[in-house]
Amino acid sequence: MGGEIMQEKSINYEIEKKKSTTGIIVQKLIELIRLSSLKPGDKLPPERELSEIMNVSRPSLREALKSLEMMNVITIKQGSGTFVNKLHPESVAEHFDIVFALDDTLYRDLYKARRVLESAIARMAAENITDEELAEIETNTRKAVGAVENPKEFLELDFQLHTLILKAAKNRILPVFIQSINKLNLIMRKKTNSVLTIRQSTIQDHQKILEALKERNPDKAANAMEEHLLHVERGFYSIESRGEDSK
């Protein structure tokens, strides 16, 4: 029995090691494409040359190339070579679950980015929000209470609330950053939104954010938003540790 457990741990370690290595190579390949200013249709160096440039084994490189092909970043043509397909953020985001699967440290970076940006947005919203915008947010939070048993509707309302707060911040540049982040964190939000206790906690957090906005208190609004995102992040890692979603 002990030998079987040790064997299973060894297998799991090798799988995680392989995922980590592949993820690193994927990131390096994307950076190489970007720095080389390669355009759609341009050809990557041959496999042997790429493995030497990146100082990685050819089997590891092949795994990374397969992942990039799944993400539609490259096209591998047998006998012809590997060609750049597209490297738009939107196309990568469509398959970002693959990237996260290969390097789950990206989750933490993404949550940190959300906390920095959205707490600042809440602060600005508290300074600039109108009575009409407050009324919209209050209506949203009221609807969310009624939708707590409906994950799909609740997720839509959650996105709407954060969008309303962004609108109230009255900054024309921030929506560009938030749009990119929203594409990437959709995977995580779907997971956390699937858990009833997290939806219930979110309602309480949104109420605190609303109260801070009503008071036009920038510090309180920023803190309430950061606390909310920390709660969601902890909920996400709780789901990940269980390895399943809970309704």
Judgement on whether residues 221 and 114 belong to the same structural domain of the protein: yes
Whole-prediction pTM value? 0.63
Instruction: Please check whether residue 194 lies inside any domain of the structure.
Output: yes
Read off the tokens for 201: 């906690």
For residues 10 and 90, membership in a common domain is answered with yes
Q: Which pLDDT value is given to residue 95? A: 53
Residues 10 and 126 in one domain: no
3-state secondary structure of 83: strand
247 is a domain residue: no
Tally Cβ neighbours within 10 Å of residue 92: 19
Same domain, 157 and 217: yes
Q: What is the pLDDT of residues 188-229, one digit of tens each?
A: 888 899 999 999 999 999 999 999 999 999 999 999 999 999
pLDDT value at residue 245: 47
Lowest-confidence region among 30-44, 67-81, 129-143, 156-170: 30-44
Distance (Å, rounded) from C-alpha 169 to C-alpha 75?
Answer: 42
Residue 152 lies in a domain: yes
pLDDT at 180: 76
Question: What is residue 18's predicted lDDT score, i.e. its pLDDT?
Answer: 44
78 CB neighbour count, 10 Å cutoff:
5
What is the SS3 assignment for 129?
A: coil
Residue 52 and residue 147 in one domain: no
pLDDT tier for residue 6 given thresholds of 50, 70 and 90? very low
Identify whether the C-beta of residue 209 lies closer than 8 Å to the C-beta of residue 224: yes
Identify the pLDDT of residue 218. 98
Give percent of the chain above pLDDT 70: 81
Helix (H) or strand (E) holding 75: strand 74-77
Q: Report the number of distinct structural domains present in the chain.
A: 2
The pLDDT of residue 194: 93
On whether both 157 and 62 belong to a single domain, the answer is: no
Task: Using the 3D structure, point to which of 39, 59, 94 is the last residue of a domain.
Answer: 94
Contact (CB, 8 A) for 192 and 232 = yes
Expressed as residue numbers, the domain containing 86 is: 2-94
d(Cα 242, Cα 247) in Å, to the nearest integer?
13
CATH number at residue 224: 1.20.120.530
